[in-house]
Amino acid sequence: MKLLLLLTSALMAMATTPSLASLSLSLSQTESLRAIKDLTSTFAQLSQSRDYPAMAALFSPSGILHFGNTSITGTQKITSFLKGNINSTLDTLIFATPLINLAADGRSGRGRYNSWRFQGDGKGATKLQGGIYENEYHLMNTTKDDAKGEWKVEVMRYYPLYEGNYEDGWRNYGGRDFGAVPPFHYTPDEAGLPVLPGGEIVETREEGMEELTSRIEVLNDEDEVKNLQHAYGYYLDRRMWTDVEDLLGDGAGAGGGWGGVFTVNNVGSWSGKGGVRKALERWMGPEGLKQGVLNEHLIFNTIVSVRGSGGSGEIIADSRGIEVALIGDRATSRAEWRIGFFQNSFVKRNGTWQFFNITIAPLVVANYSTGWGKGGTFPKSTITPQLLAYSRMHTITPSPTFPSNTTTNLTELERRIRRSAAYDGAENISNAYGFYIDFIDGAGCFNMSAIHHTLGHKESPFTGFYQTQKRVLDACTASYGNSSIQSRSSISFHWRPQPVILISSDGRSASLRARLLQPATARGNNSAQIRGGMYHDQMVLDASGIWRLWSVTIDEFYWNSGNWGTGWNGVTPRAANVSNPGPRDLTKQFPPDLILTGMGERERGFQGGTGRFTAWPDIQKMWFMYRNPVSGREPGGQYNGYWPGCVPCQHRPEWRMEKFGWEEPPTGPVMW
Ligand SMILES: *[C@@H]1O[C@H](CO)[C@@H](O)[C@H](O)[C@H]1NC(C)=O
Ligand SMILES: *[C@@H]1O[C@H](CO)[C@@H](O)[C@H](O)[C@H]1NC(C)=O
Ligand SMILES: *[C@@H]1O[C@H](CO)[C@@H](O)[C@H](O)[C@H]1NC(C)=O
Ligand SMILES: *[C@@H]1O[C@H](CO)[C@@H](O)[C@H](O)[C@H]1NC(C)=O
Ligand SMILES: *[C@@H]1O[C@H](CO)[C@@H](O)[C@H](O)[C@H]1NC(C)=O
Ligand SMILES: *[C@@H]1O[C@H](CO)[C@@H](O)[C@H](O)[C@H]1NC(C)=O
Ligand SMILES: *[C@@H]1O[C@H](CO)[C@@H](O)[C@H](O)[C@H]1NC(C)=O
Ligand SMILES: *[C@@H]1O[C@H](CO)[C@@H](O)[C@H](O)[C@H]1NC(C)=O
Ligand SMILES: *[C@@H]1O[C@H](CO)[C@@H](O)[C@H](O)[C@H]1NC(C)=O
Ligand SMILES: *[C@@H]1O[C@H](CO)[C@@H](O)[C@H](O)[C@H]1NC(C)=O
Ligand SMILES: *[C@@H]1O[C@H](CO)[C@@H](O)[C@H](O)[C@H]1NC(C)=O
Ligand SMILES: *[C@@H]1O[C@H](CO)[C@@H](O)[C@H](O)[C@H]1NC(C)=O
C-alpha cells in the first residue's frame, strides 16, 4: 500500500507516466498473445507423441475443426479425425509462422499459420500434408480471476494446399490448380497492430508491484531464451561448433566450468570442456561445411518457460520444440531425414542467458531414398517428452533471486513490456510478408507494399533495392502486372520460421533474421521441391502505433532439392566456368535505387550480385546481422560473414533508421 501511494505521487509528478492499470492491461495482452502461440505449439508437440485425445482436449467444449469442407465437433470425433486414416508410428504436425490477432476485449484471438504434417505407419504407408490454418481462440472463464483463464481453440480451420505420399512427394491438393487465396483474418494495417483498437481497461485485478515486475521479466527472459534457441539452430546448420560452445557460456570452450549435459538419445551423453564438441562432431560431423554437405536443422514450435529458480537458486528456463533436420553429404552419397524434438535448459548468469542442458530426441532417422515409411534406421526414442506449461500466467516459482531486476519506476516497466510486445509485433509483420508473397499478384502487391513503412526499402530478388513504399509497390507491379491471378498451377511458399529478433532499448524498432523455407508444389507427381534462404529485416513502429517493415533483404538460395525423387543430393554442381545468370530484366524495366552488383562483397556469389554464381551443392557465404548472443563473437570461418544492421545501409547510409529517429537495435549481447 505504501508503495502504491508512493507510485501515485510519482505519477502526478509526471504527466506521461503510465498508470498501473494500463501497464497491467498491456502486460496481459502480450501474455495472451503468447498463450495463444504456446497453446498452438503444444498442439503440434503432442502430435509427436500421437496423443490425439490430449490434442482434442485443447479445443473448447464448443470447439470445431474444419478440414477443407468437412466440419467436426465434439472431443471424441475430433480425436478420431486427428488420428486420421493411417495408424501412425511417426507423426509430426508443425504450425509455423504465426500471425496472431488479439481482439480488443482480450477474450478472443485469431491466428494464421503455415503447416506441415508428416506421418508414417512403420509398415510402408506414409502421408505428407501442407496447408494454411486460420484459427480462432477463446479465453475460457475457468475461474473468476481473468488472468488465470485458459485459452482454448474455438475454431481450427485448415485449408489443405498440397498432399502426397513419401515416394511421389506432395503435389497440389486434389491435383487441381489453386483458386482463391485462403481468406485473411487481418488487413495490412492490422498485421502490424499490437492489439485491435477499441479496447478498454476492464481488468480490475490488482497486482502487487513485485508480481507485475516478475511477469514482465518473464516475457523479457523468454525473448532472450528463444533467440538463443533459434540462434543455436543456425549455428548447427553451418556446423559452427565454436559458436555453439560459446552459447554454453562459462568457458565451455575456453577453460572449463560448464556443468551441463549434452545428450543425443540412443547415441550418448557428454559434458564438460570438450564434451560438447565431441557430441556435435559425433552426431553431425566436423566443424564447417564443404561442397555437398547439408546440415539444416529446422526448428519449429519452440516454447520457452521460465522457472523462478533451479536448485542452485539461479534463474532457469526450459525450451522444447520440434526439429526437422535435412542431412546430406554428396561425397559419401548420404542423405537423411532426422525428425524429433529437443528439450533444453538455460541459466541466467550475471544478467546473461546461456545454454545449460541440451537433449536431442530423434523420433525417426531415415535414409532419404527409402524415407520413413518403414520406420527409419534408428532405435525407438527412450526420452520422455516434457511438455511445458502453455497456460503461462502465474507459473513462476517465487524465489529470492526473481525478479532479478526490480524497479518501481512505471516508465521503466512500460519500456520493458514494450520490448516484449515488439518481439511479437516484429514476428507478426515478418510472417504477414510471407503470407502475402505466397499468392502474390497485382492485387497482392498492394497488401505486400502496404506493410512497409512509407520510407522503407525492400530487395527484389536477383535485382536490387527499392526505397519508399510507393517504389516497392511499383517494382512489384512491374514484375506481376496490375491484375489478380484467378488460378495458379504451382506455388512456392515463403515460410519465415525460427526468427532471431533483436529489439531496441525503447521497443520501437527491431532487427529480425529468419529462415526462408520454401516448400514448392505443382500439379504433377514428383513436382514437390524444397529450398532454403535467409531474410535480414528491420521493422519500426510508425506514428500511428503500427509495425511496418523498414528494410527487407533476401539471401537465396543456400540449398535446394533438385526434385523430390533425388532430393538435395541430386543437384549437379555447376561447372567452374559457368557465369552468373545475372540480374532479372526488372533491372532495366524498372531500375532499382541500389543494384545488387553495387553491393560488392555482400552480394558476391548470389544471382544478380558480383562474382561467380555460387549455387548448391557449392557452399555460399552466409551472412549474420548479429554477433554471438553470449560471447559477442563475430561469425567466423570460410563461409560465414558479419553484416550488422540494415543490409543496404552500408552503401546507402541515408536509409538507416537512425536518420529518421529510431534507435538501431543491438547486434550483440546487452544487459537491459
Ligand atoms: C469445398 O467445396 C467446394 C465446392 O464444392 C470445392 O470447390 C472445393 O474444392 C472444396 N474444397 C476442398 C478443400 O475440398
Ligand atoms: C489400424 O489399426 C487397426 C487395429 O490394429 C486396424 O483395425 C485398422 O485396419 C488399421 N487401419 C489402417 C488404415 O491401417
Ligand atoms: C500481430 O498482429 C495482429 C493483427 O493482425 C495483432 O492483433 C497482434 O496483437 C499483433 N501482435 C503484436 C504483438 O503486434
Ligand atoms: C466470461 O466472463 C466475462 C466477464 O468476466 C463475461 O463477459 C462473459 O460473458 C463470460 N463468458 C462466458 C462464456 O461465461
Ligand atoms: C488484400 O487485403 C485485403 C484486406 O485484408 C483482402 O481482402 C484481400 O483479399 C487481400 N488481397 C490479396 C490479393 O492478398
Ligand atoms: C559475475 O560478475 C562478477 C562481477 O563482475 C564476477 O566476479 C563473477 O565471476 C561473474 N560470475 C559469472 C558466473 O560469470
Ligand atoms: C537492470 O535494469 C536497468 C534499467 O532499469 C539496467 O540499466 C541494468 O543493466 C539492469 N541490470 C541487470 C543486471 O540486468
Ligand atoms: C541438467 O541435467 C542434469 C542431468 O540430467 C539435471 O540433474 C539438472 O537438473 C539439469 N539442469 C537443469 C538446469 O535443467
Ligand atoms: C540409403 O539408400 C541407398 C539406396 O537404397 C543405399 O545405396 C544407401 O546405402 C543407403 N544409405 C544408408 C546410410 O543406409
Ligand atoms: C524511469 O525510467 C525511465 C525509462 O527507463 C528513465 O528514463 C527515467 O529516468 C526513470 N526515472 C527515474 C526517476 O529513475
Ligand atoms: C499498372 O497500372 C498503372 C495505372 O493504372 C499503369 O500506369 C501501369 O503502367 C500499370 N503497370 C503494369 C505493369 O501494367
Ligand atoms: C500420381 O500419384 C498418385 C498418388 O500416388 C497416383 O495415384 C497417380 O496415379 C500418379 N499419377 C501419375 C500421372 O503418375
Ligand 3 atom 7: the closest Cα is on which residue?
101
Q: Which long-range contacts (CB under 8 A, 24 or more apart) does 377-381 make?
A: 378/266, 379/266, 381/265, 381/266, 381/340
pLDDT of residue 146 exceeding 50: no
211-367 shares the fold of 2-210+404-571+594-660 = yes
Query: What burial letters (b/e) apply to 372-399, b meaning 16+ CB within 10 Å?
Result: bbbbbebeebebeeebbebebbeebeeb
Query: Binning pLDDT at 50, 70 and 90, where does residue 313 land?
Result: confident
Query: Binning pLDDT at 50, 70 and 90, where does residue 494 land?
Result: very high
Strands 622-624 and 640-642: parallel
Q: Rounded to 5 degrees, what are φ and ψ at 179?
A: -100, -120
Please tell me the pTM assigned to this model. 0.92
What is the three-class DSSP state of 124?
coil
Lowest mean pLDDT, pick from 273-282, 337-346, 627-636? 273-282
Query: Binning pLDDT at 50, 70 and 90, where does residue 119 land?
Result: very high
Summary count for the chain: helices (H), strands (E): 11, 23
Reading the block at residue 529, the C-alpha cell is: 521441391
Average pLDDT, the chain: 90
**In the CATH scheme, what is the code of domain 211-367?**
3.10.450.50
Quote the CA–CA distance of 467 and 454 in Å, as a whole number: 9
Pick the closest to residue 454 from 437, 441, 438, 466 (CA basis).
Answer: 466
Alpha helices in 14-156 (DSSP H): 20-48, 52-56, 75-83
The Å distance, Cα 372 to ligand 12 centre, comes to 20
Q: Map out the domains of the chain as residue ranges.
A: 2-210+404-571+594-660, 211-367
pLDDT of residue 15 exceeding 50: no
- Please report where in the chains the cell 549455428 appears, as a residue: 235
pLDDT value for 394: 45
- Counting ligands in written order, the one closest to the CA of 528 is 12
Query: By the 8 A CB rule, do 134 and 185 touch?
Result: yes
The Å distance, Cα 351 to ligand 6 centre, comes to 10
pLDDT in tens, 228-250: 999 999 999 999 999 999 998 87
Report which of residues 4 and 505 the model is more confident about: 505
pLDDT in tens, 536-563: 999 999 999 999 999 999 999 999 998 9
Q: For the chain, how many residues are written?
A: 672
Reading the block at residue 268, the C-alpha cell is: 550418448
CA-125 nearest atom, ligand 2: 14
Instruction: Find all residues with CB under 8 Å of 380, minimum gap 6, and list them.
Output: none
Query: By the 8 A CB rule, do 538 and 512 touch?
Result: yes
pLDDT value for 405: 84
CA-187 nearest atom, ligand 3: 5
Query: Binning pLDDT at 50, 70 and 90, where does residue 431 land?
Result: very high
pLDDT of residue 450 exceeding 80: yes
pLDDT value for 1: 32
pLDDT of residue 148 exceeding 80: no
pLDDT value for 143: 55
pLDDT value for 392: 58
Helix (H), strand (E), coil (C) string for 374-385: CCCCCCCCCCCC
pLDDT in tens, 560-585: 998 999 999 999 999 888 888 888 98
pLDDT value for 398: 59
pLDDT of residue 204 exceeding 50: no
Q: Is 367 in the pocket of ligand 9 (CB under 6 A)?
A: yes
Ligand 11 atom 5: the closest Cα is on which residue?
482
Q: Is 123 in the pocket of ligand 2 (CB under 6 A)?
A: no
pLDDT value for 22: 87
Q: Is 101 in the pocket of ligand 3 (CB under 6 A)?
A: yes
> Which phi-psi region, left, alpha or beta, contains residue 35 (left: φ > 0; alpha: ψ -120 to 50)?
alpha
CA-443 nearest atom, ligand 5: 13
pLDDT value for 202: 45
Q: Is 160 in the pocket of ligand 1 (CB under 6 A)?
A: yes
pLDDT value for 672: 65
Query: Binning pLDDT at 50, 70 and 90, where does residue 362 land?
Result: very high
Pick the closest to residue 158 from 85, 64, 57, 68 (CA basis).
Answer: 68
The Å distance, Cα 416 to ligand 10 centre, comes to 12
pLDDT value for 357: 92
Query: By the 8 A CB rule, do 158 and 131 touch?
Result: yes
pLDDT value for 14: 42
Report which of residues 107 and 148 the model is more confident about: 107
Ligand 7, CB cutoff 6 Å, lining residues: 351, 405, 407, 412, 671-672
Quote the CA–CA distance of 280 and 287 in Å, as a whole number: 9
The Å distance, Cα 87 to ligand 2 centre, comes to 6
pLDDT in tens, 165-199: 999 999 999 999 999 899 998 988 888 775 666 55
Fold of 2-210+404-571+594-660: Nuclear Transport Factor 2; Chain: A, (3.10.450)
